[in-house]
Structure 1
Amino acid sequence: MDDDSRYEAVRSRDERFDGVFFTAVLTTGIYCRPSCPATTPKRENVRFHPSAAAAQAAGFRACRRCRPDAVPGSAEWNLRADAVGRAMRLIADGVVDREGVPGLAARLGYSPRQVQRQLTAELGAGPVALARAQRAHTARILLQTTALPITEIAFAAGFASVRQFNDTIRETYARPPRELRAAATPRAGRGVRPAAGADPAGVPLRLAYRGAYDAAQVFDFLARRAVPGIEELRGSPGARTYRRTLALPHGTGVAEVDEAPGGRQARWLPCRLRLTDLRDLTTAVQRMRRLFDLDADPYAVAERLGADPALGPLVAARPGLRSPGAADPAEPAVRAVLGQQVTVAAARTLAGRLVAAYGKPLSAPDGALTHTFPEPGTLAGAPLAELGMPEARRAAIRTVCAALAEGTVDLGPGADREEATRALLALRGVGPWTAGYVRMRALGDPDVFLPGDAGVRHGLRALAGPGPAPDAEAWRPWRSYAVHHLWNATA
């Protein structure tokens, strides 16, 4: 897009571009999302920035009306597999807060200077500025949704000092932290100060997305695969709540996401996070966003897949279909091996046994949630006799977990997808279906096709009828979504 086409998107308040670029207004000193409902500024007074961090670095503060810091992430980072895309996924996961720019650069295989240069060239801001903008957003959430002391919020959001926290909040939101908290809509429980650290009621969030969102499809997918002990669904279809445990860098957590946002026009899913350490808030949010595929571009997916004569009717019938990812990158790798040559229900039963035998217990059960998923290092040397599986399959699980524990296979948010796939296929007991499924879910690749999957084969036959099979190559770069359409067609 050029600046003129960006301005046309702003004039039409086109929400498709929320998170793709940001609009800065010279006369007011604020920056907005493209769909901001405020009066459209004159063209000569507008400047465009590729990221919120770039707008903040240029001296603009966030709009109080459209909250541009709360938009869905750019779908570009889901699609791109280059160094910049990997860096953005790592920054979103909190790597810069935990390991600094040298840690980010080491994970990418570049020098800090190279990472700074590449990010600045494409996003108008380096890794420190991008992480700083993310910390400001986390701090605003904690200020407006919890009763935590401001000093605790500063460090929970990842700031190195209270002074840095105060300066950043003033620059970003044009008001000090106490005023930002006072301006928030009163919420239940805000008057009760938590005893220590995390709010026992959890941090309430709105997980934003763009376009249509087929929540029923996502919740059905998760319900069929929910592993006892780490996942559960409550309620009835249309009003379900998905709950799961999270193993995070500083502790553990329990996440709850509601199926119904309160109307089709509400572009968010209600979420609550209960964390043992609030420093994990940013990481937990990003992992839930990946699990629910909330940063996808449904417009681009529908445009490509909907144009296919065979697949088009399925796309029209399920607008906003998503490709769920994973809350723990190692978990889908283990579950994929468990699911080889068995039904989804059988794989779920096996995973439940694995969690009961080797999962890390929570400090106290939370409803049906009792454990976090077993760590790869624990399973690498485990006998796995509880599974009642052939030794070859148990050996494959140990092999995969040993590779994950040793770092031979990297499935983290910044992993190189091609390299990870090659490393998986080199392991004994891992075939193309397993590697492809892991790439789709753990690595969030939107362009994975599983020709050997039984559901995909049945779906292709149903689409083709008496004619030739559809050409899956025409569905690039959104073949993961095509796979879900085929699965739904045969469910």
Structure 2
Amino acid sequence: MRERRWRPGAPLDVRLTLAPHRRGSGDPAWQATPDGAIWRTSRTPEGPGTLRVLVDARAAEVVGQAWGPGGPWLLETLPRLLGADDPVADFRVLMERLEAGGHTLIRELASRHSGLRLSVTARVFEALVPAVLEQKVVGREAWRAWRWLLRAYGEPAPGPAPSGMRVFPEPEVWRRIPSWDWHRAGAEAVRARTIVNAALHAGKLESAAPAEADRLLRALPGVGVWTSAETRQRAHGDPDAVSVGDYHLPSLVGWSLTGRKTDDAGMLELLAPYRGQRHRVTRLLELGGRRPPARGPRMSVRDYRSF
């Protein structure tokens, strides 16, 4: 076991910052334990690793403990994972430039969640796979597939991780998953093909500069604006990556800012004053925005598996 202590130097909500990497309850790659620690596994450039993150409130430090061949890399990149590279200062400057009498809700949410930071994992393919699984389905369906695939093909987490934790498989493993196991996981052929094809280009995705990420991701068959944004939000901490095409987000943004539902075009118009920080704003609205009444049709949970 290796350990690193890091002092953020500003308010930091560790759980809130790491929450986007959790794919539903029972995620084999992300667990929170009763002692307040968050456990996370990753396929690092050095191999599989397990990271335990705990806050030492007395010392005002974050304690990272890591196991496995990827442990040193996880500790080296711990500050980035916890938002050390987050351009939150740019957001503050932007809000100062906007008219003081407006944007009240965003200001209130930013103050209430001052410890929120945008996390960077620097693992693009690892963020892309669950994003593809979440395409055009409800969360429960996507998370069920994620759990099944990691339990079937992921390695056991190094170290004393909570029971059942697994490490994201290598790209070669994703390419070899047979069609019947995609079916058992509940992922239909379209999403399976998208992931298998992306695995062929995983090396290029990982080595590309963040500025090139959107172009490379959207060049992959089956990866559109929404999937690229969801991937870049987590892998690169992109503060402006808007999840255009999301089933719920336009209504949330519209209702929160105007009291009316809207579509993607309307959402982008409402978010225009926050250009450069639009993902951060939608993240704040997800945490405390006003949701419209749940009167419309809901997406149903599909099940492609046979029993």
Whether TM exceeds 0.5 here: the answer is yes
C-alpha displacement of 1:226: 6.0
Report the equivalent of 1:458: 251
Say if 2:144 is the partner of 1:354. Answer: no
Give, in whole Å, the separation in 2 of the partners of 1:458 and 1:214. 27
Q: Is the 8 A contact 1:326 1:441 kept in 2?
A: yes
**Among candidates 74, 91, 96, match of residue 301 of structure 1:** 91
- Displacement of 1:369 in angstroms is 4.6
SS of equivalent to 2:115: coil
The letter for the 1-side match of 2:239 is P
CA contact (8 A) 1:306 1:315 kept: no
Distance 1:228 1:301, change over 3 A: same
Structure 2 residue 111 is matched with structure 1 residue 316: yes
> Matched residues in 1 for 2:62 and 2:95: separation?
25
The residue number in structure 1 matching 2:28 is 229
Instruction: Describe the shift of the 1:472–1:423 C-alpha distance in structure 2 as closer, same or farther (beyond 3 A).
Output: same
Helix, strand or coil at the partner of 1:454: coil
Shift of 1:365: 6.7
Answer whether contact 1:446 1:480 (CA < 8 A) is retained.
yes
Going from structure 1 to structure 2, the CA distance change for 1:227 and 1:432 (only over 3 Å counts) comes to farther
Cα displacement (A) at 1:387: 1.5
Once the 2 structures are TM-superposed, how far is the Cα of residue 379 of structure 1 from its aligned partner?
0.7
**1:248–1:416 Cα change, 3 Å:** closer
Is the Cα–Cα contact under 8 Å of residues 64 and 75 in structure 2 kept in the other structure? Answer: no
Tell me: CA distance 1:211–1:410, structure 2 relative to 1, closer, same or farther (3 Å).
same
- 1:487 matched to which residue of 2? 286
> Residue by residue, what CA displacement relative to the aligned partner does 1:258-277 show, whole Å, maximum 9, x if unpaired?
2x4315x82x3222122347
Is 1:396 the counterpart of 2:174 in the alignment?
no
Query: Alpha-carbon deviations, 1:34-78, whole Å to 9, x = none?
Result: xxxxxxxxxxxxxxxxxxxxxxxxxxxxxxxxxxxxxxxxxxxxx
Q: Which stretch of the first structure deviates more once superposed, 249-258 or 333-342?
A: 249-258
1:466–1:272 Cα change, 3 Å = closer
Paired AA for residue 229 in structure 2: G
Q: Which has the higher contact order (CA 8 A, sep 6+)?
A: 2
- Cα gap change, 1:323/1:458 in structure 2, threshold over 3 Å: closer, same or farther? farther
Alignment of 1:374-385 (within 5 A): 374-383=169-178, 384-385=182-183
What does 1:365-444 correspond to in 2, within 5 Å? 366-383=161-178, 384-404=182-202, 407=203, 409-412=204-207, 415-444=208-237
Alpha-carbon offset, residue 463 of structure 1: 2.6
Tell me the TM-score normalised to structure 2 length.
0.77
The one of 325, 332, 336 equivalent to 2:127 is 332
Aligned to 2:238: 445
Give the direction of change, closer, same or farther, for the CA distance of 1:458–1:210 in structure 2 (3 Å limit): farther
Question: CA RMSD for the aligned pairs?
Answer: 2.9
Name the CA shift for 1:448/1:390 in 2 (closer, same or farther; >3 Å): same
Change beyond 3 A, Cα 1:474–1:220: same
Question: Structure 1, residues 390-445: CA drift from partner, whole Å, max 9, x if none?
Answer: 211211111111221xx4x4234xx2234332222122211110011112212332
Q: Deviations over 1:65-102 (max 9, x none)?
A: xxxxxxxxxxxxxxxxxxxxxxxxxxxxxxxxxxxxxx
Name the structure 2 match of 1:179.
none
Runs of 5+ consecutive residues of structure 1 not aligned to the other structure: 1-201
What is the letter of the counterpart of residue 368 of structure 1?
Answer: S
Structure 1 position 257, deviation (Å): 0.4
Contact 1:355–1:373, Cα closer than 8 Å, also in 2: yes
Deviations 1:435-461 (A, max 9, x none): 111122123323212232234313311
**Aligned partner of 2:68 among 272, 275, 291:** 275
Using a 3 Å threshold, how does the CA distance of structure 1 residues 292 and 346 change in structure 2: closer, same or farther?
farther
Is the 1:207–1:270 Cα contact (8 Å) retained in structure 2?
Answer: yes
Taking only the aligned residue pairs, the percentage that are identical comes to: 24
**3-state secondary structure, aligned to 2:279:** helix
* Deviation sequence 1:3-62 (CA, Å, 0-9, x none): xxxxxxxxxxxxxxxxxxxxxxxxxxxxxxxxxxxxxxxxxxxxxxxxxxxxxxxxxxxx
CA distance in 2 between counterparts of 1:427 and 1:216 reads: 32
Structure 1, residues 328-374: CA drift from partner, whole Å, max 9, x if none?
Answer: 33211001000112233332221111111221335677332543101
Alpha-carbon distance in structure 2 between the residues aligned to 1:214 and 1:305: 21
User: How many matched pairs?
Assistant: 276
Supply the AA of the counterpart residue of 2:4: L
CA shift, 1:284, in A, is: 1.5
TM-score normalised to structure 1 length: 0.50
Query: Residues 475 and 329 of structure 1: is their aligned pair in 2 closer, same or farther, counting only changes over 3 Å?
Result: same
**Distance in structure 2 (CA, Å) of the matches to 1:210 and 1:344:** 35
Contact 1:210/1:298 (8 A) holds in 2: no
User: In the aligned structure 2, how far is the partner of 1:209 from the partner of 1:295?
Assistant: 11
**The structure with more radius of gyration:** 1
Give the C-alpha shift of residue 303 in structure 1: 3.4
Q: CA deviation at 1:219?
A: 4.9
**Structure 1 residues 464 and 483, CA, compared in 2 at 3 Å: closer, same or farther?**
closer
Q: Which runs of 5+ in 2 are unaligned?
A: 261-265, 292-307
